[in-house]
Amino acid sequence: MKRILVLCTGNSCRSQIAEGYLRFFAGDRAEVYSAGIETHGVNPRAVKIMREDGIDISGQTSNHIDEYRSIGFDYMITVCDHARESCPYIPSQAVTFHRDFPDPAKATGTDQEIDARFRAVRDQIRSFCRTFVDAMVGG
């Protein structure tokens, strides 16, 4: 079974969304974790837009990278440039991947415009995660 860590700055949106999709697509073929170099709590809008796509991330928690120092990860995925540049710890055996997704938490405008931004980022992350699982975890 593969162990996957998704890392972001605050572990509130992008990494939480990726954790949800990676768990969904990998099923019991992978253990998936997410963390941040800070912890900001799981963003309620991320929970909402994932629920719209049939995935419940409401039980996920915002965790700090240091909590996972003892786990031997196979893969680490950074989902923002800041995390990739600032991560104080990279699992020594983990193969690293990087994809900088826009931060939907920084969206401004009406509620509808902000939700649209969250959905757009969610859809980008879903596509990335499906491709990643197909290529790295297999069927």
Catalytic, out of 5, 50, 80, 121:
80
Residue in the block written with tokens 């031997």: 72
Catalytic, out of 5, 6, 8, 83:
8
**Tokens (6 digits) for 84:** 């990739």
80 is catalytic: yes
- Kindly state the DSSP code that residue 136 receives in the 8-state scheme: I
What is the rounded CA–CA span in Å between residue 58 and residue 51?
9
Catalytic, out of 53, 63, 87, 99:
87
CA-to-CA dists, residue 27 to 50, 59, 122, angstroms: 17, 17, 19
- Find, among 52, 22, 44, the residue nearest to 34 by Cα: 22
13 is catalytic: no
Q: Which residues have a catalytic role annotated?
A: 8, 80, 87
